[in-house]
Structure formats: structure tokens, C-alpha cells
Amino acid sequence: MAGWSTAITSVSLVEEALSAIEAREEELHSFLTLLPDAVEAAEALDRDRPAQAGPLYGIPYAVKDNIVTEGVRTTAASRILEGYLPPYSATAVERLQAQGALLLGKTNLDEFAMGSSTEWSAFGPSRNPVDPSRVPGGSSGGSAVAVAAGYCRYALGSETGGSVRQPAAFCGCVGLKPSYGRVSRYGLIAFASSLDQIGVLTGDVRDAGVVLGAIAGRDPHDQTSVDAPVQDYLAEIGRGARGLRFGVPAEYLAQGVDPAVRDEVLRAADLLEAQGLERREVSLAHTSYALDAYYIIAPAEASSNLARFDGMRYGPRAASDELVEAYRATRGEGFGPEVKRRILLGTYVLSAGYYDTYYLRAQKLRTLLRREFTEAFDAVDVLLTPTTPTTAFRFGENTEDPLAMYMADALTIPANLAGLCAISLPGRPAQGLPVGLQLMAAPMREDILLRAAAALEEAVR
């Protein structure tokens, strides 16, 4: 987006996007809602274009359907919110609209962002544009597909345990998870509030920096947002990465990581050294416990957050003359199997007699993991790992085995538990399928993260 010619009109971009959507959307199912007046909105933007328009002005983008948009259907891919029209927009969306960005539509996801393949959407799965027999990842699968299939230059997604980076890795695009608190969560339908974060999917690292710069910053509507300066990320990228220190923790290349994925990460490490970065040894011993801790903490928070969806204020309501039965029937009919599984798990670990055994111990592990990352970032500026243990798997391969499905996020979850910033970018494909390379940096150091990511992106090309 940076450096685009002003001769390119918003109308031409929207028409190009709609042509691409017409060609493949029936197969890929990236969108749950397409705005019918996108061409008219583009015409208005072209007509009123200011002399000093910003880099996002008039460019169509997509938004994951668990991020609310005023007057535009927002379902979180769940029957329990089918037909919901929010009365306000998320802060991240408002900030993009203020820069003249053009909303193209709302993208598919695993219901309430609970999943790793977009197979748990109540409205049917999205498909990987590289190989439609394989999943696009999740839960931001629709957003990753929209970018990878060329529908739009960027899309907003959300992360709780890797839901931006993992689909980016599977589809072959860039997925950026900002530090916790860097981007306002106001208007993001809550899954696990201490982990949730709005993120960005783009075609390259520079575009990720542009979009992050537009949506980042303190928001009075979100008390967890951090009052930290938002840097000029394009200028930071321009500084280059020579002299930065990086580490490749052995724990992220352990059993379960496909040999082709491991080899690509080691090749990327050599490329970073060739770019003038200094490689150092690091270890993250508690990484192997992160998945266990996450699947206690996240469902516990979800069981509380999803209690509000009862059919009384919005969404469909099951017919019943008795209040408790109405709640039970509405939630039974409205929630899908994965959401029910996580609500039940979260309720269990928070129940009397189990809180100390499970939830409290998981939070202690989370503290240990944060300390371990802090020590690692005293020694290095960024960490290089695989984004996912494998490339995209086939539809139905893991739906009957929740633990196998959860393992798809094993390497992304630690960054969420520790509040780090992290990014996935495409490496060299393995057997024709994208491989994701993950970089992580300390909280609020997106400047360093993007410098290293741009250097790696250039080297991999």
C-alpha cells in the first residue's frame, strides 16, 4: 500500500476485488457478509479524495466476523448471533474508517473464534486457496483466505492462541499479532479476555506495519489498552535489521514438528545470519506446558464471557414458558459442539474443588513462561521458530480428535500467554504447501519485530 500511485482509484480496486471474489468465492467461502454498496462507497471516496490522502485511503479490506461493525451483520459464525446488527463499530474498525479505508465485508471463522481450521463455523468452512482440499487454519481462516486469494490487500483477524498467525502460515500470507494492549479490544466479541487481541493479515510485512500503525494506540473504551507511543513502523523497517540478535529455541523444533518445517526454519536462521543478524543460544523450557495451561485458562474465561449469550437480548430464542428451560434450549440449539466443549471444560476447571488443582496452577505456569521469555529477550531481540508444527491438514483429518486439532496452535500459544508481539511470514513451501516462519519479540517491541521480519522476508524471496 505504501507508495501506491494516486492514479489507482478505489473503484478500480473494488471492481478487481469483486472480480476475484466472483471467480473463487463459491469454492473458498471466505466471506459471511459482503457489503452490497462497496462500488458506490468507492465512488464517493474517489470523488472526495483529499490532497493528502493516507496510505489506506480507498483501499478495500475485510474484517473477521467477531469484530463488530455498526449496522453490518456480525455473527461470530454462530447461530446464536445470527442476524445481529451491532449499534457501534470496534475501535480498530473506526480508526480504519477514519483513514478512508473501505470495508468490503465480514469474513468466516470458527464459531466464537474457537478452533484451528474454520471447520467449526456454523455457516460452513472456508477452504485454503492454495489447495481447497485442505483447511485454511483458524480461527481467522476467512480473513487469511481473503488476503491469500487476492480479494483484498489486508484483513483484520483476532488472536487468542494463534488465530492470526496459524491461518497465515497455512495460506501463505503474513499474520501479525500485536502485543497485548497495543490494539484496543473494544468491539471484539470476547472469547478469553486476558488473551484476546485484534491482529492483521496482509500480503507482506510493510503492509502489516502500515495497518498496525493505523489501528494501534490507547483507547479509553478499553482499559487494557496500553498508553505507549505508536511508532512509524515503515521508518523502523527502513532502518534494517543488521546487528539485531536472534535465537532459535530448540524446544520449538522438538518432536511433532514436521522435518520439512524444521529444515525451513533452520534455513531461515542461516539467512538471517547472512543478513547481518547475530545468532545466540536460547532455551524456553516451559514451552511444552503452554498448550496445557492455555486449554485451562482460555476455556475458563470463555465460560464466563459466553454466559451473556442467552437469547434474551439478541439472537434467536428457543420457545419455552420456563426461564431456565429457555436458557438451556437456546444455548443448546445456538452453540456448536466445539463451543459447548470449551464452556463445559471452563466451567469444570473453575468449579469448587478444581480451581486450585487446575486454574490456579495454569496461571502459575503462565507466570513462569512470562519470566522465561523476559530472560530470553535479555539475550536476544527476536526469537525464530516455526509458526505451526505442520503444513495445512486435510478437511476432517482432526475434527474427531480435539487434542490433535489443538496441537496446531502449540507453537503460537506461548506468545499469547506471555503478551508478546509475534508475526508469521511465508517461508519456502514444502510439497507445494506454505510453511510459516514465526518471529517473536518482547511486549511493545513491534518496531524490532517488523525490522527483523522485513529482513527475513527479503532473504526468503
CATH topology for 1-297+381-461 is Amidase signature (AS) enzymes (3.90.1300)
Confidence of residue 6 (pLDDT cuts 50, 70, 90): low
Q: Over the stretch 378-427, which tens digit does the pLDDT of each residue have?
A: 999 999 999 999 999 999 999 888 888 999 999 999 999 999 999 999 99
How is 366-435 classified by DSSP, letter by letter? HHHHHHHHHHHHHH-SEEEEESSSSSPPBTTSSTT-HHHHHGGGTTTHHHHHHT-EEEEEE---BTTB--
For the chain, give the mean pLDDT: 95
**Is residue 113 within 8 Å of residue 305, measured between CB atoms?**
no
Residue of 10, 64, 140, 424 with catalytic role: 64
> Closest Cα partner for 362 from 442, 299, 284?
299
Confidence of residue 127 (pLDDT cuts 50, 70, 90): very high
- In this predicted structure, the answer to whether residue 212 has a pLDDT above a threshold of 50 is yes
Residue of 89, 139, 140, 424 with catalytic role: 139
Residue-level pLDDT at 413: 98
Q: What is the pTM of this model?
A: 0.96
- In this predicted structure, the answer to whether residue 363 has a pLDDT above a threshold of 90 is yes
Residue-level pLDDT at 4: 45
Q: Are strands 174-177 and 421-426 parallel, antiparallel or unpaired?
A: antiparallel
Element containing residue 447 per DSSP (H, E)? helix 446-460
Share of the chain above pLDDT 90, in %: 89
Residue of 116, 117, 121, 163 with catalytic role: 163
Confidence of residue 7 (pLDDT cuts 50, 70, 90): low
Burial of 292 (0-12, 13-18, 19+ CB in 10 A): middle
Helix and strand numbers (H, E) in the chain are 15, 11
Q: Among this protein's residues, is 64 annotated catalytic?
A: yes
Domain range annotation of the chain: 1-297+381-461
How is 30-78 classified by DSSP, letter by letter? -EEEE-TTHHHHHHHHHHT--TT--TTTT-EEEEETTB-BTTB---TT-
Q: Among this protein's residues, is 139 annotated catalytic?
A: yes
- In this predicted structure, the answer to whether residue 18 has a pLDDT above a threshold of 80 is yes
Window from 11-20, 35-44, 278-287, 396-405 with minimum mean pLDDT: 396-405
Q: Among this protein's residues, is 163 annotated catalytic?
A: yes
Tell me if the bond preceding 139 is cis, omega within 30° of 0: yes
- In this predicted structure, the answer to whether residue 10 has a pLDDT above a threshold of 80 is yes
Mapping DSSP onto H, E and C, the string for 200-255 reads: EEECCHHHHHHHHHHHECCCCCCCCCCCCCCCCHHHHHHCCCCCCEEECCHHHHCC
Query: Region 140-159: what's the mean pLDDT?
Result: 98
